[in-house]
Structure 1
Amino acid sequence: MTSLWQSASAPVEGTPLVPDRRHDVVIVGAGITGLSTAVLLAEAGVDVAVVDAGPVGQGATGASAAEASLLQGTTLATLRSHHPAGLVRAYVDANRAGFDWLVERAGADADRRTSFTFGRGPDTDPALDAVLAAAKEAGLPVREDTPDDFGGRSRARAVALDDQLALDPVRLATTLAQQAVAAGAALHTGVTVRDVHALPQGRIDTDQGALFGDTVVLATGTPLTRRGLYDLKTRALRSWAIAYELADATHAPGGMWSEVGADGRGVMAVPTSFGRPALLVTGARHPVGSGRSEVALAEELAAWARRTLPVGDELARWSGQDYQSHNLVPFVGGMPRGLGRIRFATGYAGWGLTNGPAAAMRLADEIRGVSRRNRPQWLRTIGTRMTVPADLGRGLAEAARRARTVGAALSGAVPAPAPRPAEGAGVVVRRGLRTAAVSTTAGTTRTVVAPVPLTWNDAERSWDSPVDGSRFAPDGRRLEGAASHDLPEVGRAS
């Protein structure tokens, strides 16, 4: 499914990859983090190459909800509930640095909007009180509000922060790619990375040959390697976004809205750079491979939008994936057992438009050898990771959830041989102690070997892993996630 931003974007032309070429830094991922890092390094005179399997900004960046906000829903309140005020302030300062850098780079392409975290009814008051207190303590100029322009239907209690940004994320990525190339960086799109190595030197293996770098930066949503086991230290989450024409522009919601609640519903008018009025509705946030019907989740969100908002015809519908660390602070820095040659960033929890540039600043400083005492205070504070019992508890709860989902998928598996699935359907088949995933798409039935039980994504027509969030096409081709290899296809019938 193609997002609103992807369908309107113009591709950035890269250059052919020259096998065995050496660079100072090789960056895997042409999204906001990878391109921001490339700009910072290339403008400092570092020899940089950026590699991506797809076009610029077509991964997690292309599925973004287009909101750059320091308020970030209930993130600050959740972080403050288990961590000291200094860490929350450092997190805000990091995002402010990323925000300011975006303003400098995006220029007129960004709209200034008020960001609201809102709730309805007394049940949400404690959560909003916590958001207000945490944001004020962290130094944000928030205010309490009861705006009535949420669809022109009713009033809602909200915490508001003015002068935040709405922007087309793919257009931003395109701008950053152009700036990186203008500064001397090499850009290689359509190149699939198969593996990454630290010994005997930094190297990535691709489908078009190897590239060498003194440093390799993995800016791929989640690291494309099992070093450090970051797939166990983060939750892989998917969300839905639906863009609509406005049925009544006079009652369009002003600002950018994030609702208090587990499914993360949000509403905003799309950036004006899109060229015509439209409304974006987001939500249905859930763990990857949870086993629920993706089509049903999207339809529930669409039904809520039609009940609540002045929406007209649907323009686009898509889902995207992000990763949330168990303490909500992103992982950024050197990869364990990477010998200082492999660096990465992950765990933005859906707020990558500000966390991504902040991570790029840290990565660029570390790669260039900027001394710790010359780095901003927020970078020094947030770079010292703290783990508290609540973080461990969330990690254990996530491990238990994965085990339950895998158990449910295994118990629901059918013994081989299984009947051919209907068009657009998939079934997990037991083969001894292993499982196979069988699906039918475009009239062809394919069977791939699965190391753990997978769940069928009925909207994207993919196999999704509840263990690490990896996703695979029906033929086993890796789509995204921590997995570094395709699944072997062992059968095909038309």
Structure 2
Amino acid sequence: MNALDTPDRSYWMQTAGFPDFAPLTAPTEVDTVVVGGGIAGISTAWELARAGRGVVLLEADRLASGVTGHTTGKLTALHTAVYDTLRSRHGEDAARLYAASQSAALRHVLTVAEGLGVDCGLERRPALTYCERPDGVEGLRAEAEAARAAGLDASFVTETGLPYPVAGAVRVENQAQFHPLAYLRALVDDLVAHGGRVYEGTRVTDVDGGDPCRVTTASGITVTARHVVVATHHPLFDHGVLAARLTQHRDLVVAGPLPADRDPDGMYITEEGGKRSVRTAPLGDGRRLLIVTGEAFAPGTGEDTEAGYERLLGWTERHFPGVTVTHRWAAQDNSSTDTLPLIGALPTAGGNVYVATGFAGWGMTGGVLAGQLIASLVAGTGERWEGLYDPGRFGPAVRSAPALLKAQWETGKHFVKDRLDTWGEGTGGPVDELRPGGGTVVRVGGKPCAVHRDDRGGLHAVSAVCTHMGCLVAFNNAERTWECPCHGSRFDVDGAVLQGPALEPLERRDPGDL
């Protein structure tokens, strides 16, 4: 099957069976309101409800339909090659705390799944970070040593279960993989059983910290609470302070059935070749679902995403011949400029507001960790690694200043370059040459306009100015979305917000003016 013929659908979302929840329709008061229904938000709400607190969970769309619903579902403390970096940038104590906290989150999932009797395809597997090129071996040897010094059961190996040779790999034993939405479905059911209230289709547009806090929705409804948790992937309502410390990237995913006797028996990742990640999941019919991730790119840069899918499909066919791709999807992640996630009190919110973000593609353990840590902060007990993840940390931010400046330089370039590009025929060519399924940014009446031609030939026109901070969006031709290169906001072809930090849609334009 050609990648172009495969519908965009996440296997997890297709098979999760989440219940529907109504939108919030009336003002309410509660101890804690959690904004965002991904793994970080659901985990936090569940932890708080289990601790006896009144909880309201608000999700703008459907639960787990964002980043969480498009993950690869790995539960591991081996995060590519993070430990050598942590040790050199932040010291050995930081690396040990990172390993301990991520490992604790993994064990927590195992305990919770067993306690709730969750059937979520949970399997223990080794995690491996590998390289195929000999010039990557020295770095992986250093990573294996750093991971081992941090407390992980890590070793350097040259043999793996992959059907192709590698030059070397870091292997960490006793990690896990699961069906993330099946796990979260059980947490949501238990959350509701413990008095938690869940509302979907409820977009939050403002958060005021203090005592009490107030949360306002797009429909003007207010929730009053003692505590607010912002678990929206990108840290909304932080007035751009944390946003400046985050970079965005998207990964493409293809998946298809694989005979069980060809299972590589592990979770694999390499940064080579635009990144490749490999794992399988049980299908229950004697086969496994092979899941391959890669072709990482920054959103909003105008990448030919369909070509990326084709490259990923070609790689899969060469390395796992005979696999027919049945699913494809994409996920967006953000990373902090100092490597560490941002979990804890939001420093710009006025008090009693907490945030969880910057998981760098490792949101399964990161989201569970966030739930545990924020629940402990709300309770006033804390965890021994709270300082490591504190969003207001100063030392690591200073040490990561070059990365921060580079991220801001990239953002600044788009403010200038994108506007110059649209003085001509458009970033994707003139409108009259636009093919069905394509998009371009042009100037109409002196203003940048984002134009998409649908499969029937009709034109959809919206402002090309992102409503977050004013960068110009670019078209993603595979997902047919407009994406902002500065902070990763995403919009559909009619301007509706698909992913923040933008809160307002792109303004509609009249196609007749083109």
Output the TM-score relative to the length of structure 2: 0.89
Quickly say closer, same or farther: Cα 1:429–1:309, change in 2 above 3 A: same
Q: Structure 2 matches for 1:230-241, cutoff 5 A?
A: 230-241=242-253
Which residue of structure 2 aligns with residue 213 of structure 1?
225
Is the contact between residue 14 and residue 186 of structure 1 (CA under 8 Å) also seen in structure 2? Answer: no
My pick for the range that moved more, 136-145 or 198-207, is 198-207
Which residue of structure 2 aligns with residue 302 of structure 1?
313
For 1:54 and 1:206, the matched residues in 2 are separated by 12
Quickly say closer, same or farther: Cα 1:407–1:263, change in 2 above 3 A: farther
Which residue of structure 2 aligns with residue 441 of structure 1?
454
1:423 pairs with 2:442: no
Describe the SS at the equivalent of 1:318: strand
1:474 pairs with 2:493: yes
Structure 2: which amino acid aligns with 1:341? N
Say which of 478, 481, 484 aligns to 2:503.
484
Is the contact between residue 484 and residue 490 of structure 2 (CA under 8 Å) also seen in structure 1? Answer: yes
Is the contact between residue 202 and residue 217 of structure 2 (CA under 8 Å) also seen in structure 1? Answer: no
1:337 pairs with 2:339: no
Q: Structure 2 matches for 1:220-369, cutoff 5 A?
A: 220-246=232-258, 248-261=259-272, 263-271=274-282, 276-369=287-380
Say which of 110, 113, 127 aligns to 2:125.
113
Shift of 1:484: 1.4
For 1:279 and 1:263, the matched residues in 2 are separated by 19
For 2:397 and 2:220, the matched residues in 1 are separated by 44
For 1:274 and 1:290, the matched residues in 2 are separated by 41
Describe the SS at the equivalent of 1:312: coil
Which residue of structure 2 aligns with residue 188 of structure 1?
199
RMSD of aligned C-alpha atoms?
2.4
Structure 1: which amino acid aligns with 2:459? T
Describe the SS at the equivalent of 2:356: strand
Deviation digits for residues 100-155 of structure 1, max 9, x if unmatched? 1111122353111111111113211122112112101111111222224202x335
Is the contact between residue 202 and residue 341 of structure 1 (CA under 8 Å) also seen in structure 2? Answer: no
Describe the SS at the equivalent of 1:280: strand
For 2:398 and 2:208, the matched residues in 1 are separated by 34
Which residue of structure 1 aligns with residue 405 of structure 2?
396
1:143 pairs with 2:155: yes
Deviation digits for residues 223-275 of structure 1, max 9, x if unmatched? 222424322210011001110222x5433312010114373311111245798
Structure 1: which amino acid aligns with 2:480? R
Is the contact between residue 22 and residue 201 of structure 2 (CA under 8 Å) also seen in structure 1? Answer: no
Is the contact between residue 300 and residue 484 of structure 2 (CA under 8 Å) also seen in structure 1? Answer: yes
For 1:127 and 1:315, the matched residues in 2 are separated by 36
Which residue of structure 1 aligns with residue 27 of structure 2?
20
Shift of 1:460: 0.9
Quickly say closer, same or farther: Cα 1:382–1:86, change in 2 above 3 A: farther
1:32 pairs with 2:60: no
For 1:401 and 1:367, the matched residues in 2 are separated by 36
My pick for the range that moved more, 200-209 or 128-137, is 200-209
Shift of 1:311: 4.4
Q: Structure 2 matches for 1:76-155, cutoff 5 A?
A: 76-107=83-114, 109=120, 110-151=122-163, 153-155=164-166
Describe the SS at the equivalent of 2:395: coil
Shift of 1:59: 0.9
Which residue of structure 1 aligns with residue 49 of structure 2?
42
Deviation digits for residues 193-217 of structure 1, max 9, x if unmatched? 2333337742222337332222221
Is the contact between residue 32 and residue 228 of structure 2 (CA under 8 Å) also seen in structure 1? Answer: yes
For 1:249 and 1:389, the matched residues in 2 are separated by 49
Quickly say closer, same or farther: Cα 1:121–1:309, change in 2 above 3 A: same
Output the TM-score relative to the length of structure 1: 0.92
Which residue of structure 1 aligns with residue 172 of structure 2?
161
My pick for the range that moved more, 95-104 or 256-265, is 256-265
For 1:114 and 1:156, the matched residues in 2 are separated by 18
- Amino-acid identity (%): 28
Shift of 1:72: 1.3
Is the contact between residue 96 and residue 150 of structure 2 (CA under 8 Å) also seen in structure 1? Answer: yes
Shift of 1:435: 1.8
Give the length in aligned residue pairs.
Answer: 488
Describe the SS at the equivalent of 1:321: strand
My pick for the range that moved more, 107-116 or 31-40, is 107-116
For 1:388 and 1:226, the matched residues in 2 are separated by 17
Quickly say closer, same or farther: Cα 1:413–1:71, change in 2 above 3 A: same
1:460 pairs with 2:479: yes
Say which of 183, 189, 194 aligns to 1:178.
189
Q: Structure 2 matches for 1:404-423, cutoff 5 A?
A: 404-415=413-424, 419-420=431-432, 421-423=434-436
For 2:109 and 2:446, the matched residues in 1 are separated by 50
Structure 1: which amino acid aligns with 2:97? A
Structure 1 gap ranges (5+): none
Shift of 1:347: 0.1
